[in-house]
Every structure is written in structure tokens, then in C-alpha cells.
């Protein structure tokens, strides 16, 4: 590998000299052109080309106290459920000139505080967190730094700052209500052990009015875990009729296992997932699921951060994006 000698990158100083203007004029020509004459802008632009100048946002941010970075914390990037959110977040932020720094907190709460510190040391202009901030220390710290914070994918009455998500308890209740309304009595739950999934379970049990057989697996859930969970539930209740699962991949696994044991879906067993993953409508049988618009969560969260960074008030600091039970073949609905 031929490494080019560490010849210093051009600075704004070089651009200014090349263009025959002062440093600050060059700066303004690039970042606030309204204050500069067209002719000067043109000369600066030419000088930028000639020198191959690439702005140094770190340097600018030091003085202006805007890093144009937003920290994004997810439990783990490999949960497909959050992908549309991360994607929309990245895109919306990018369009406004902000970049996302990604952090994975794991499902382990103790890492949260450490990761938060790491992120804060980069002086992000905002923070988007998947889930709620639970640790009081972290909540207090986030409040103190005074940057916009959005908690996502959940709702509570004590937001650190802003919030966009859904009520997981309501999702659970809605699914249980849906099952009961169809006359299915022998219910079951297969769920990951993360906070949001457990809240859905609570809502489910509350609406069912009684404890139900549960298979609880360590988050994140998967097709593989789904097969095992199905086996576990059938052991607990061989005549189980309706199972609610904490993710679509998980539900998919349950259905595969159920079928391999000769159970017909939906005739012998009905299944409902969560998230409306891209495959949910297209597997066989197609999967009934609670749909959440993850991309909207990302878009709204990004916009909240952007608005606040640009000094605009956020009209609605807590947004419930809601959910919708999409009925498909796995509960006796139509294919589409």
C-alpha cells in the first residue's frame, strides 16, 4: 500500500488566501452565504475546488457549540424491528445536516450509563434512545446536559424530555381483546424478556383477566426461539388455541413448529405477532400482527431534535403513533 505522505489537509485559511479574502469571509461564504456578495462567494467556491478543502466540523463545532451530531442508542442493531426507525432517523437527520452516532447498549441496563457518558463526550446536539431511560442517574444526567432527548418506541408519564412511541400495555390488551372477541379462550404468550415486550404481556394478561401460559425467552427473540417457545407452550397446554408473540420472527418460528407437529393454522391454532415485519404479509400463512410505524417513529424523533436544535418549539413533545392489528391468515383473516 502506498500511503500518501501526511501532507496537511487544506484549511479554511488556505482557502481564504487562495481567494484573496479574509478567513472569516471565507467562512461566511460557505456557511452563511446571505451575508456575502455573489462575486466573493464565487471566488471562495473556486478556491475550495482548487485546494480540495473539506470543512472541519469538529473545529467549527468547538466554537459554535453545535456538533451537528445526534447520538442514537439501540439495545442492539440486529433487532429488525428497529431498523425502519434507525433508517428514517439517519435519513431525516442527514437531510438537515446531522449525522447519527450509533451506540448499542445491549439489553443490559448497567451498560446504559457507560454508553451514555461515551456518547455525551462527543457533545451530540441531541439524543435518541430506543426505549425509556430507566436509571435515575441517567435521567438526571440527561436533564442536566440540557440537550434535546427523545425516548422512542414506548410511552410513559415521566418523559426525560420528549417521547414518541406507543403504549405497549394497550397493544397487549388489544390483542387479548381481539382473541377473546373471536371466542378463543385458551390463550398463550410467547415473549422476549425485554421491558417493552413484558409490558405487552401485562396488558395481555390484564385484558384476559387471568394468568396465561407463557414462554419467556431472552431478547431478542428469533425464529429459532419461536420453535422452542411453541414446544414449551404445547407442554403447558396441549390444547392451546391462540398465542400472542412478541415479534413477527418469533411468531414465524412458532407457526413453523406448530405445523411440523401437525397443527393447522388457523384451524387448530391462531397466532398473532408484533411489528408487521416486511415478511409478515408474505409468508404462508400470512401473519396477523400488531403493526407499528417504526419509520414514523424515526422521522418524528429526528424532527423533534432538529426543531429544538434550530430553536423552534416542538408543538407536541409526546407523540403516540399508535398501532393497528392487521388481520391475516394466521387468525383466519384474508391473505392480503
Residue ranges that bind its own copies, judged by CB under 8 A: 1, 3-7, 9, 52, 54-59, 61-62, 67, 69, 76-78, 80, 83-84, 86-87, 90-91, 94, 99-104, 117-123, 141, 143-146, 159, 161-162, 222-224, 226-227, 249, 252-253, 256, 259-260, 278-279, 281-284, 317
How many angstroms separate the CA atoms of 243 and 236, rounded? 12
117 binds DNA (CB under 7 A): no
Nearer to DNA, 28 or 170 (CB): 28
9 binds DNA (CB under 7 A): yes
Give CA 303 to chain center in angstroms.
14
Shortest spacing between CB 96 and DNA, in angstroms: 16
Shortest spacing between CB 28 and DNA, in angstroms: 6
Nearer to DNA, 11 or 156 (CB): 11
How many angstroms separate the CA atoms of 135 and 310, rounded? 29
Nearer to DNA, 30 or 230 (CB): 30
Nearer to its own copies, 71 or 205 (CB): 71
How many angstroms separate the CA atoms of 63 and 55, rounded? 14
Strands 69-74 and 126-130 come out as parallel
13 binds DNA (CB under 7 A): yes
12 binds DNA (CB under 7 A): yes
Shortest spacing between CB 105 and its own copies, in angstroms: 11
Nearer to DNA, 29 or 321 (CB): 29
**Site string (29-68) toward DNA, x via CB under 7 A:** -xx--xxxx-xx------------x-xx--xx-xxx-x--
Decide which of DNA, its own copies, none touches 6; Cβ closer than 5 to 8 Å per partner kind: its own copies
Q: Under a CB-based contact definition with an 8 Å cutoff, are residues 230 and 269 in contact?
A: no
Give all strands of the β-sheet with 324-326 in edge-to-edge order. 214-217, 187-192, 242-245, 270-275, 288-291, 324-326
3 binds DNA (CB under 7 A): no
Shortest spacing between CB 4 and its own copies, in angstroms: 5
Q: Is 53 left (phi over 0), alpha (psi -120 to 50) or beta?
A: beta
Instruction: Sort 37 into a burial class: Cβ within 10 Å, 0-12 / 13-18 / 19+.
Output: exposed
Nearer to its own copies, 162 or 234 (CB): 162
Q: How many CB atoms lie within 10 A of CB 128?
A: 28
Nearer to DNA, 9 or 77 (CB): 9
**Chosen residue from 18, 28, 71, 200 binding DNA by CB under 7 A:** 28
How many angstroms separate the CA atoms of 281 and 181, rounded? 23
Cell 427473540 sits on residue: 221
The C-alpha R_g of the chain, in whole angstroms, comes to 25
Q: Under a CB-based contact definition with an 8 Å cutoff, are residues 228 and 217 in contact?
A: yes
8 binds DNA (CB under 7 A): yes
Nearer to DNA, 22 or 118 (CB): 22
Shortest spacing between CB 57 and its own copies, in angstroms: 5
SS3 31: helix
Instruction: Sort 127 into a burial class: Cβ within 10 Å, 0-12 / 13-18 / 19+.
Output: buried
Binding site residues, DNA, CB under 7 A? 8-9, 11-13, 21-25, 27-28, 30-31, 34-37, 39-40, 53, 55-56, 59-60, 62-64, 66
Amino acid at each position: 500500500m502506498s500511503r500518501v505522505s501526511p501532507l496537511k489537509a487544506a484549511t479554511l485559511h488556505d482557502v481564504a488566501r487562495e481567494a484573496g479574502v479574509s478567513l472569516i469571509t471565507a467562512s461566511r461564504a460557505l456557511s452563511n452565504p446571505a451575508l456575502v456578495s455573489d462575486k466573493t462567494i464565487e471566488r471562495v467556491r473556486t478556491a475550495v475546488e482548487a485546494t480540495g478543502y473539506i470543512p472541519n466540523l469538529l473545529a467549527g463545532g468547538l466554537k459554535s457549540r453545535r456538533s451537528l451530531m445526534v447520538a442514537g442508542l439501540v439495545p442492539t442493531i440486529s433487532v429488525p424491528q428497529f431498523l425502519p426507525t434507525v433508517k428514517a432517523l439517519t435519513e431525516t437527520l442527514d437531510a438537515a445536516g446531522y449525522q447519527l452516532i450509533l451506540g448499542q447498549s445491549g439489553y443490559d441496563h448497567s451498560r446504559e450509563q457507560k454508553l451514555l457518558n461515551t456518547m455525551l463526550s462527543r457533545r451530540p446536539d441531541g439524543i435518541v434512545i430506543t426505549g425509556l431511560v430507566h436509571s435515575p442517574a441517567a435521567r438526571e444526567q440527561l436533564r442536566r446536559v440540557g440537550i434535546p432527548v427523545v425516548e422512542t418506541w414506548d410511552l410513559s408519564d415521566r418523559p426525560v424530555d420528549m417521547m414518541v412511541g406507543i403504549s405497549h400495555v394497550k397493544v397487549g390488551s388489544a390483542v387479548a381483546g381481539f382473541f377473546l372477541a373471536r371466542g378463543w379462550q385458551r390463550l398463550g404468550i410467547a415473549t422476549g424478556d425485554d421491558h417493552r415486550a413484558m409490558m405487552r404481556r401485562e396488558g395481555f394478561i390484564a385484558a384476559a383477566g387471568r394468568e396465561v401460559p407463557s414462554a419467556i425467552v431472552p431478547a431478542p427473540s428469533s425464529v429459532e426461539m419461536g420453535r422452542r417457545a411453541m414446544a414449551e407452550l404445547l407442554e403447558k397446554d396441549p390444547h392451546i388455541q391462540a398465542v400472542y408473540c412478541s415479534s413477527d420472527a418469533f411468531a414465524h418460528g412458532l407457526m413453523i413448529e406448530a405445523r411440523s407437529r401437525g397443527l393447522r393454522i388457523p384451524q387448530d391454532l391462531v397466532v398473532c405477532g408484533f411489528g408487521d415485519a416486511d415478511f409478515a404479509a408474505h409468508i404462508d400463512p400470512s401473519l396477523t400482527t400488531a403493526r407499528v410505524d417504526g419509520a414514523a417513529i424515526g422521522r418524528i424523533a429526528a424532527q423533534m431534535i432538529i426543531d429544538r436544535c434550530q430553536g423552534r418549539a416542538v408543538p407536541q413533545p409526546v407523540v403516540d403513533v399508535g398501532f393497528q392489528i392487521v388481520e391475516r391468515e394466521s387468525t383466519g383473516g384474508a391473505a392480503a
